[in-house]
Structure 1
């Protein structure tokens, strides 16, 4: 399925009307069933759908590894997933975070997860991180022609991108790279997560659930996401643009050349 299509548009500029071709992003609704029960309906870009499903099951804490998936069948707008039945299907971790988070909800989450910390020796140089974002933006081919997608990627200690995905939704893009990493056998504890979308509490929770130690965005981070990153011992950075980085939590994993840590 195409991720973008050509259409015609009316352009008005400098008091002049023109009829021009344009490229717009395509979206699909994908209804997912787990063990025969409705699980989630994605509004997503029609690429890497298997990776999207796997990554979401992992980042939501429904499964802890690929070995728990018995079968995935995707047929147009419907997907059926069979997972090992260890008692009841695990409750979605994100269920404790409503769509609009309040301070009380974040306080509750911090108490529930007290003592849970990401332990990782992963480090990345600031220069390598900056270059990895430049590479991410260069490789976002759908965004380049439509201006309509978010990007997510995984970068190793050298700043090399080893997984990349685009999607209409920033969380979908993250789930896609998590699913790709699982299929390729990549260790998420040894990589940084890059995203072009703002960092939300849910995104930090997803990273914590799969053990990602560094979350970086070329956009902003919310106060609640910073609080959670500090609680989970996740390094959180935002506004990675040009030659700058804003670090909001646990800076020890982002290093400067010739220095052990910040």
Structure 2
């Protein structure tokens, strides 16, 4: 993960808020024209030293950096970042941290809101409806953070399922959302690593359109999270672990 030999690779245009069409590359195969998602090696520098690289879709990189730094436990929140700069010619992100925390295991999550299964299904559909790159290419992941108390939503896309979740968690941190009110949804499989990042954020519910791994299941159980999979239909939905937040219906 750590290296001091990383350099910023070739320039990648910044995504457009109108639909980020520059995150899709037009390609011609031997048979037909297709659209492919853009993938770039992206470096994150901490205090002038290369800390990690990841394959990303190079937009919303400030959100990604904040989400990753918080998710790995190096900072508790964006207020601990003295300076953050996105180098679009990289793509790279440079973060200045007056204090770098020693990562600790994620703590148990707060009680949080109660959520009906039908609401999770609606949110999953709303997430997919706000994912133009996912629809255009079929090769992207999408994640969404929802404030259960207000209904506000943040949606981000990336070629990597972890990066998409990092982006929504970072954006929610930057927006100052109360973690205990946040529900996280993803199009991708929930791994133990993703579960830990969501837990460090403090979101008590994490739901996927697909599955969760056994280690994610075990970690969520220890942390008191509600982990939900196959959020496609009422029949397919699986509540792997429960902190009694997700219910078939919520009585008034």
Report the TM range for the smaller structure's normalisation.
0.7 to 0.9
Does structure 1 residue 253 correspond to structure 2 residue 227?
Answer: no
Matched with 2:145 is 154
Structure 1 distance, partners of 2:102, 2:227, is: 27
Does structure 1 residue 90 correspond to structure 2 residue 82?
Answer: no
Matched with 1:239 is 230
Does structure 1 residue 126 correspond to structure 2 residue 117?
Answer: yes
Does structure 1 residue 79 correspond to structure 2 residue 71?
Answer: no
Mapping for residues 38-49 of structure 1, pairs under 5 Å: 38-49=50-61
Mapping for residues 7-18 of structure 1, pairs under 5 Å: 7-11=27-31
Q: What is the deviation of 1:158?
A: 6.9
CA contact (8 A) 1:51 1:180 kept: yes
CA contact (8 A) 2:140 2:157 kept: yes
Q: What is the deviation of 1:30?
A: 1.6
SS at match of 1:57: helix
Matched with 1:201 is 192
CA contact (8 A) 1:157 1:191 kept: yes
CA contact (8 A) 1:124 1:158 kept: no
Matched with 1:230 is 221
CA contact (8 A) 1:128 1:159 kept: no
CA contact (8 A) 1:213 1:235 kept: yes
Cα distance change of structure 1 residues 47 and 213 upon mapping to structure 2, 3 Å threshold:
same
Q: Which runs of 5+ in 2 are unaligned?
A: 1-12, 14-21
Structure number with greater Rg is 1
From 203, 226, 229, the counterpart of 1:212: 203
Of Structure 1 and Structure 2, the greater helix share is in 1
Q: What is the deviation of 1:92?
A: 4.6
TM-score using structure 1 length: 0.82
TM-score using structure 2 length: 0.85
Superposed CA offset, 1:132-165 (max 9, x none): 0011112111011111111110123279451111
Of Structure 1 and Structure 2, the greater strand share is in 1
CA contact (8 A) 1:5 1:25 kept: yes
Superposed CA offset, 1:18-40 (max 9, x none): xx221111112221110112211
CA contact (8 A) 1:152 1:193 kept: yes
Aligned length: 229
Matched with 1:66 is 78
CA contact (8 A) 2:45 2:51 kept: yes
Matched with 2:154 is 163
Q: Which runs of 5+ in 1 are unaligned?
A: 12-19, 94-111
